[in-house]
Amino acid sequence: MTRVVFLHRPGHANFGGKIMRCDQLAAIAQRHLGDRYHFEVLAPPPRRFPVRQRRFAQSLQGAVVILLKNAAASLTPRALEILRARVRGLCIDHLDVPASNETFGLVDVHIAASFRGKEILEKTLAGHSDLPAGIEIKHLAHHADPRLSPLARGAERFSIGYFGKPSNTVLASSLATRILSPDYGRDENFASVVEGMQRCPMHYCVRAPAGRPAVAERLAKPFTKGFNAAAVGANVLVNRQVDDAVAYLGEDYPFLIDDLSEASINEAIEKARELFGGPEWARGLDTMREVRARTAPAEIARQLGDILALFD
C-alpha cells in the first residue's frame, strides 16, 4: 500500500487552508481510496534543526508527498534534495499561492485547485523551456467543508449572509445591515458559522480582484464559498470576475452581477429577494445541485486518485 503524505509548514496546523486541503482532504481520500493508499498529514521539523530535517526527509522514503502551497520553503536545501531523491512522487498543491521560480522544476506534478489556477500554471510553465520533461499540471477541485449538509427543507423567507473574513469581500457600509455576517474568527466559533450557512438561503460571494493586475495574472483562488453554498442547498450572489464562478455556474445563472458598484450589488440583492421561491430561484438551485455533485467527496477523491495513479 502506497503511503501518501500531505506536508504543510510548521506552525500552520490551525490555518484554514491547511485544515481543508490537508486534514479534511486526507480524510476524504482515506474513505474513498484507502484500499490502495494510506494518507497522513505531517509537518517537517523547523529549519533550525537541520539534522532532524534530514532524518525527516529520509523517513518519507517511497511515499508520494504533496506539498501544500509554499511548504518547500520550510525545508533546508539538503533536506529538500534528500526528499526529491527518496520519494516515489513529489507534488505541490498551489491552492491560492503563485508558483515560484524555485519550485517550477522541483516536482513531478503541479496541482491547481481551480480551473483558473490551472490556466495560469500552464501559461507559466510553458514559458520555462529549461524545465525537465514530464512535469504534469493537474486540476484537483476544492471541496466544501465536510461539516456542512443540505437542509431537510428550504428556508421559508429570504436572507443573505457572508461567511468569511471581512477583508476577503466587498461590503459597503450601506450593505452591512442587509447581509448577515457571523464571526469568522477562531475555530471554536465555527459552530455558529456552520449554523448560519445552513439556514441562510443565499450566500454572498462577492470578491474584488486580487491586488494589482500583475498579481491577478499569477494568482487564482478556488470557488470555495460557492462550494459551501452548494453543500447546504443555497444560491449565491457573486460577481462574474470571481475565479471559476462562471465556469461552475454558467453565463446565465440568475444571480451573477457584472460589477462591484454599491448600486449594482443593492439592485442584485433586491432582485434575489423578489425572485426568492419562484422559478428563477429554483433554476439557480438546480445549478447549485450540479455544483455540489461536481465537488462531492467521491469526485474529489477520484481526481486525487488520478494524480496518484501517475506514480503506481
User: How does pLDDT run across 33-71, given as a tens digit for each residue?
Assistant: 999 999 999 999 999 999 999 999 999 999 999 999 999
Distance CA 275, CA 134 (A): 50
Distance CA 24, CA 243 (A): 22
Residues 173 and 272 in one domain: yes
Domain that residue 188 falls in: 160-294
3-class secondary structure per residue, 217-249:
CCCCCCCHHHHHHHHHCCEEEEECCCCCHHHHH
Whose cell is 452548494? That residue is 230
Residues 166 and 82 in one domain: no
Does any domain span residue 123? yes
Q: How far is CA 219 from CA 77, 173, 222, 270, in A?
A: 26, 28, 10, 32
Average model confidence (pLDDT) for the chain? 91
Distance CA 37, CA 290 (A): 29
The pLDDT value given to residue 205:
95
Distance CA 143, CA 152 (A): 21
Nearest CA to 278 among 224, 201, 172, 182? 201
The cell numbers describing 99, all together, are 508558483
Residues 6 and 138 in one domain: yes
Provide mean pLDDT across the span 90-102: 89
Provide mean pLDDT across the span 143-167: 84
Least confident of 58-62, 101-105, 297-301: 101-105
Residues 91 and 9 in one domain: yes
Q: Domain containing 273 — which CATH number?
A: 3.40.50.2000
Measured in degrees and rounded to the nearest 5, phi and psi for residue 100 equal -110, 160
In angstroms, what is the C-alpha Rg of the chain?
A: 21
Number of helices followed by number of strands (H, E) in the chain:
13, 10
Number of domains in the chain: 2
